[in-house]
Amino acid sequence: MTDLIILFFVTFSAALLGVVPPGLINITAAKISTQKGKMNGVIFAIGASLVVVIQAIIAVTISKYLHYNQEVIDILLKVALVIFGLLGIYFFIKALKNKEKRIRMVKVSKKSSFFKGIFLATLNVLPIPYFAGLNALWKVSGLMEFTIIDIITFVFAAGFGTFAMLYMYVFYFDKSQSGSGKFSKYSDYILSALMLVLVIVTLVRIFYNSQPTT
């Protein structure tokens, strides 16, 4: 039981820390919170976290043969490159078209926020190699085995860790009407710049992975 608690804690912490830097999901969660209210931000976070649970399951599966099937990671990186490039263009165009206006709270469907969380989290495939790497590290260090109970603990810790940080983003950015308006005004530029950074990072990783090992 103690081993499971340790496994949950270290995985929860790693998942939480992985969402600390401003990224597509947490910035969007904050943006939804400022524009549509904290509850919609939380619903978005729940949808995104459910996808992370599925991604963690996939990560556990591919970590078993990660070192022997490098092409899997190469494909994921190339898919991520295309997605981040398209999203970067989209957010930049949206930011240019977005005229300065006062943000007002409107009633929106919580269901739409939930599915938006699922959609954006599905597009973000980078958590898969991240959790696959963590899983392989825990396996090598003896923190976990590929048993059902260990896998369930790892997967749910990843989901809860992600949700915890998204929850903090939702409530941290929703302080005042003034601050919300300022953040909402520049959030599309932030997302566009973030996509550019992710494109560069992904290109570097693709180049590095393509180099022959000596």
DSSP assignment of 96-154 equals HH------------HHHHHHHHHHHHHH--THHHHHHHHHHHHHHHTS--S-HHHHHHH
Q: Write the Ramachandran bin of 106: left for phi over 0, alpha for psi from -120 to 50, otherwise beta.
A: beta
Is residue 208 predicted with pLDDT exceeding 90? no
* Residue 124 burial (C-beta neighbours within 10 Å; 0-12, 13-18, 19+): buried
Mean of pLDDT values over 68-88: 70
Mean of pLDDT values over 28-38: 86
Q: How far is CA 196 from CA 1, 13, 87, 99, in A?
A: 44, 27, 9, 23
Give the N- to C-terminal CA distance of the chain in Å, as an integer: 43
Q: How far is CA 25 from CA 30, 90, 131, 212, in A?
A: 9, 15, 16, 34
Average pLDDT, the chain: 78
CA 65 from chain center: how many Å? 23
Given this model, what pLDDT does residue 102 score? 47
Is residue 203 predicted with pLDDT exceeding 70? yes
Is residue 52 predicted with pLDDT exceeding 80? yes
Is residue 75 predicted with pLDDT exceeding 80? no
Given this model, what pLDDT does residue 98 score? 63
Given this model, what pLDDT does residue 103 score? 41
Q: How many helices (H) and strands (E) does the chain have?
A: 8, 0
**Segment 156-167, tens digit of pLDDT:** 999 999 999 999
The residue that leads in pLDDT, 75 or 168, is 168
- Token pair recorded at residue 68: 């022997």
- Token pair recorded at residue 166: 């998204």
Is residue 152 predicted with pLDDT exceeding 90? yes
Given this model, what pLDDT does residue 68 score? 59
Given this model, what pLDDT does residue 108 score? 45
Q: Where do the structural domains in the chain lie, given as residue ranges? A: 2-210
The residue that leads in pLDDT, 100 or 35, is 35
For residues 28 and 161, give the distance between their C-alpha atoms in angstroms, rounded to a whole number.
17
Is residue 204 predicted with pLDDT exceeding 70? yes
